[in-house]
A and B are shown apart, each in its own frame.
Chain A
Amino acid sequence: MKGTRIFGLAVLGWFGFVAGKPALAQTLPLFVTKAPLYDTWMARAFDPCTPSTLTVLTTGLPSGGGCLAANSVTEPTLPMNFARLRVSKSGKIGIFGRGFTFGESVRVRLNLRVTRKGVSTKHPPKTGATVTFADFSVDCPAAPNAFVVRPSGAILGRTDLAACLSPNTGLAGGATPNLANIEVLGASLVNVSSGKELARSGILR
């Protein structure tokens, strides 16, 4: 009788262990093993729309959900034929585009959420903690630098993410691989002279 009870308890304990382990282990999900590239073409940036009185008649579209396109909070003048943006695992940000105005300059704006392993904290005291930092927006390359449009109207350049993040260069990772989980919440191009976004990641169809 006693043996059966002990056996029963042991079985229950085992099931508890097996069932409980994944739940505990999955409380904080593991980082992915690889995410080498963020690569996007850019669509033109337009002001967000808060629907007003505009009634749309074209089918397949929200009849009351549109606004006349506007560029007051976004860049209204700087033209662009196309642009493509790449952010690679090496931390390089590359941009290529055409059809811009010669002499103007642009920067890449990234909206990021970084979660880092191996962080030391004081309150509460911990070593090797996994910490998520507040979402932030960074313009690359950092001022006073920028991607300057060539006489042909083209932009071609590369810059380094860690340099843009200075003095918080650790947000871009570290010497050890897979230390920083960098969520790209948004990517855009900014006209330096107006400070307004002219293009955002997207497609044209």
Chain B
Amino acid sequence: MKTRLYGWAAGGLAAVAVTWLAAWAQAQTPAFPQVARNYSAWLVRAFDACTPGSLTVTTTGLPAQGCLSSATVVDNQMPMQFGKITISKGNGKIKVFGRGLTPGGRVKVQLTVRTTRNGISTKHPPGTKRVTFQDTTVVCGPPPFGFIAVWPSGNLGGKIDLSDCLQPYPGLALGNIEIVDVALVNADNANKVFARPGIMR
């Protein structure tokens, strides 16, 4: 009888331990990297996404299906010879430069980030936790106008504070920031995207 009780107790303890270990394992997430200094990309032209239909491609070395290129969802008005975007950890700035844009045009940055932060106070459940926030997309520009104006020469140059860009949640500009998407948009054409990071070959 005593042995049976011991057996039940041991079984119960084992079950509790397994449950606790499973919960602990789930709660453990990997450490943040020690350093991730910047994101720096030259920009290429943005084109509409393609859902392959009836266009058959005969050039070798390419997929057999494609779409005739279009720019309806994306912007088709802002020209650009070249451009570059940099997001730095150090000063927390987004820097943009480019050439060959429409003089007087207005450009903004569209940014989607996924931020994860340590030491966040939470109520439900109560405690200090590591929290991942919902992917956040913003379209922003530097104060006071909220856009970067293209110079009469067609050159573009501007800086935006990441924390300003992420208003009203500047706290999203700290921690482990995954850059899910970044693009330049034409503020004079319904904030349509005209340039994305990429390479030209």
Contact = CB atoms under 8 A, between A and B. Distances in A.
Interface of A: 26-51, 53-62, 65-71, 75-83, 87-89, 91, 99, 113, 115-116, 118-124, 126, 129-135, 167-173, 177-186, 198-205
Given A29-B45, A36-B42, A60-B171, A68 B63 contact: no
B177 A57 contact: no
Contacts of A78: 30
A65 B41 contact: no
18 contacts: A32-B42, A45-B178, A54-B125, A56-B123, A57-B123, A58-B171, A61-B172, A66-B120, A66-B133, A82-B33, A119-B57, A130-B68, A131-B57, A133-B65, A133-B67, A167-B61, A186-B181, A204-B89
B133 A49 contact: yes
B8 interface: no
Contact of A69 (B80, B87, B132): B132
A72 to B, nearest CB: 8
A26 to B, nearest CB: 5
Which 8 pairs of residues, A with B, have the shortest CB-CB distance?
A173-B201, A170-B61, A60-B171, A35-B42, A41-B36, A35-B200, A204-B36, A57-B121
Contacts, number: 350
Contacts of A204: 32-36, 89, 175-177
B45 A181 contact: yes
A121 B65 CA distance: 9
A122 B56 contact: yes
A41 B39 contact: yes
Contact of A60 (B50, B58, B169, B194): B169
A202 B178 contact: yes
A198 B176 CA distance: 13
Given A28-B71, A89-B201, A113-B49, A43 B176 contact: yes
B179 interface: yes
Nearest to A188: B178
Interface of B: 26-52, 54-63, 65-71, 75-83, 87-89, 92, 100, 113-114, 116-117, 120-125, 129-136, 162, 169-181, 194-201
A132 B48 contact: yes
Contacts of B83: 32
Contacts of B181: 185-186
A88 B57 CA distance: 27
A28 B70 contact: yes
B187 to A, nearest CB: 17
Contact of A135 (B49, B55, B92, B176): B49
Given A68-B131, A181-B44, A61 B114 contact: no
Contacts of B36: 41-43, 82, 202-204
Contacts of B67: 131-134
A83 B28 CA distance: 22
Contact of A68 (B42, B66, B114, B129): B129
A67 B57 CA distance: 45
B79 to A, nearest CB: 7
B176 A57 contact: no
A87 B113 CA distance: 21
Contacts of A49: 114, 132-135
